[in-house]
């Protein structure tokens, strides 16, 4: 879209909309006191012969003023580290916001470069997604978050007065230890009670009992960390609860429970997981295609992989399968794939005499993927890959390989 430019002396500028950028009386370099209206939220192309003032208008006037205004919005401390920016020779500019200028020269050779990475906006976007983004579970659709001590304390404080609360951790038995050894270790750590089938049991009584200590699979056994009654807690009480919650998270390897009045059991976890899935915590590197941590493990952030190039396999789409459109299906041995496909094509109504360019999506899928009646091109290359120990197959595969775009990118 070309921009209409008029001389300010001879014409009265039209009223501009709130979304327009209006430049009044630009006189930078060879601009002769011009006024111009530029619509926002659109792709605008400035055209003209060499020396007509395209760069003077867009870079030396519009961008320079947007950059200057942004610099003026910074603190005096930040401005002292920046070069002085002179106001361009223009009467005024309305509706202008901070601007970005990308020069025509290529400043980097990496194919990963984008407008965002070249202007460093991508660094702020990565930080925004890492800090403000929310991870949602694909199973339940709920937000994935870690519980901390403050969450548990807040849950206890929100309970009505008089509610009885138990801080519990699942009793875990080490593979190389029996129950008695496990209980002795808990005693040495300072724990004195278990919570078995909703009954508080002293560990010492279990150890002193003449009966053999055993825990059935049907038993629900927890280690009792602390017990309390909900009320308006004082500061000392909150410190005690916080210490107990910290201990519970440590002993439970990141998981703990609150049982309320033997009726309700609340689960808390300081792991970044939900619905049995452990998720990656969002960090800036996770959103960077220039970092191995965030880049696609297949294409390594290039969006292209070394695969079978369809244009090399079917170089002339005006040919039909019968006429030899599939380049690898030639020769005495490899030509058998073409013959088998043509023979089987009658069973599923595939037009072998129709040019490939005129085939429907379903027919192209049959040609590439094959079906129950015939093997397609993908099956052919799968067999080639299984015989790569032979030189002739390695040479064949190299002829039809190229950089191809990944699906879904």
Superfamily of domain 161-275: Ribosomal protein L1/L10, rRNA-binding domain (3.30.190.20)
Instruction: Assess if CATH 1.10.8.280 describes domain 304-405.
Output: yes
Residue 53 and residue 193: Cα distance in Å, rounded? 85
5-94 matches 161-275 in fold? no
**Helix ranges restricted to H, 80-192:** 115-118, 121-132, 149-157, 179-189
A 10 A CB-CB count for 345 gives: 20
The domain spans of the chain are 5-94, 161-275, 304-405
For 254, the token pair is: 């990141």
The residue ranges of DSSP E strands in 211-291, in sequence order, are: 221-229, 255-260, 264-269, 273-274, 277-278
A 10 A CB-CB count for 311 gives: 10
Reading the chain (409 residues) residue by residue, the pLDDT tens digits are 344 444 444 444 444 456 789 999 999 988 889 999 999 888 888 888 888 888 889 888 998 888 888 877 777 777 777 777 788 899 989 988 877 776 655 555 566 666 676 667 778 888 888 888 888 988 988 888 888 899 999 999 999 888 999 999 988 888 778 888 888 888 888 888 888 888 888 888 888 775 666 667 667 888 899 989 988 888 888 999 999 999 999 988 888 999 998 888 888 888 888 888 888 888 887 777 666 666 666 666 666 666 778 888 888 989 999 998 898 998 888 889 999 999 988 888 899 899 999 999 999 998 988 888 888 988 898 888 888 888 888 888 888 887 665 544 3
5-94 CATH:
3.40.50.300
């Amino acid at each position: 879209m070309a921009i209409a430019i008029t001389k300010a002396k001879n014409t009265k500028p039209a009223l501009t909309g709130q979304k327009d950028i209006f430049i009044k009386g630009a006189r930078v370099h060879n601009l002769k006191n011009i006024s111009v209206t530029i619509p926002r939220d659109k792709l605008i192309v400035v055209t003209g012969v060499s020396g007509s003032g395209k760069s003077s208008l867009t870079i030396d006037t519009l961008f320079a003023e947007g950059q200057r205004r942004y610099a003026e919005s910074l603190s005096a401390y930040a401005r002292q580290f920046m070069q002085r920016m002179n106001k361009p020779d223009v009467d005024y500019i309305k509706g202008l916001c901070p601007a970005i200028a990308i020069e025509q020269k290529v400043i980097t050779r990496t194919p990963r470069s984008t407008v965002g990475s070249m202007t460093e906006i991508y660094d702020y976007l990565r930080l925004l997604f890492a800090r403000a983004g929310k991870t949602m579970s694909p199973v339940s659709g709920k937000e994935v978050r870690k519980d901390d001590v403050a969450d548990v304390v807040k849950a206890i404080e929100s309970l009505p007065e008089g509610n009885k609360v138990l801080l519990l951790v699942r009793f875990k038995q080490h593979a190389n230890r029996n129950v008695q050894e496990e209980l002795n270790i808990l005693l040495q750590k300072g724990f004195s009670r278990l919570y078995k089938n909703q009954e508080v049991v002293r560990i010492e009584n279990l150890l002193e009992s003449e009966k053999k200590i055993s825990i059935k699979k049907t038993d629900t056994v927890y280690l009792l960390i602390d017990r309390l009654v909900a009320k308006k807690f004082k500061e000392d009480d909150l410190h005690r609860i916080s210490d107990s919650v910290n201990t519970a998270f440590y002993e439970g390897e990141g998981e703990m429970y609150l049982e309320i009045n033997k009726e309700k059991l609340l689960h808390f976890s300081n792991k970044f997981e939900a619905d049995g899935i452990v998720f990656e915590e969002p960090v800036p590197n996770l959103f960077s295609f220039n970092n191995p941590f965030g880049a696609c493990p297949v294409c390594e952030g290039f969006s292209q992989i070394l695969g079978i190039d369809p244009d090399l396999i079917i170089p002339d789409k005006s040919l039909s399968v019968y006429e030899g459109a599939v380049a690898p299906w030639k020769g005495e041995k490899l030509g058998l794939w073409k013959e088998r496909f043509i023979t089987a094509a009658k069973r599923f109504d595939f037009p072998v005499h129709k040019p490939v360019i005129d085939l429907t999506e379903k027919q192209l899928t049959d040609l590439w993927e094959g079906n129950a009646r015939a093997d397609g091109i993908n099956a052919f290359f799968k067999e080639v890959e299984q015989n790569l120990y032979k030189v002739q197959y390695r040479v064949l595969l190299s002829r039809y390989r190229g950089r191809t775009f990944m699906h879904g990118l």
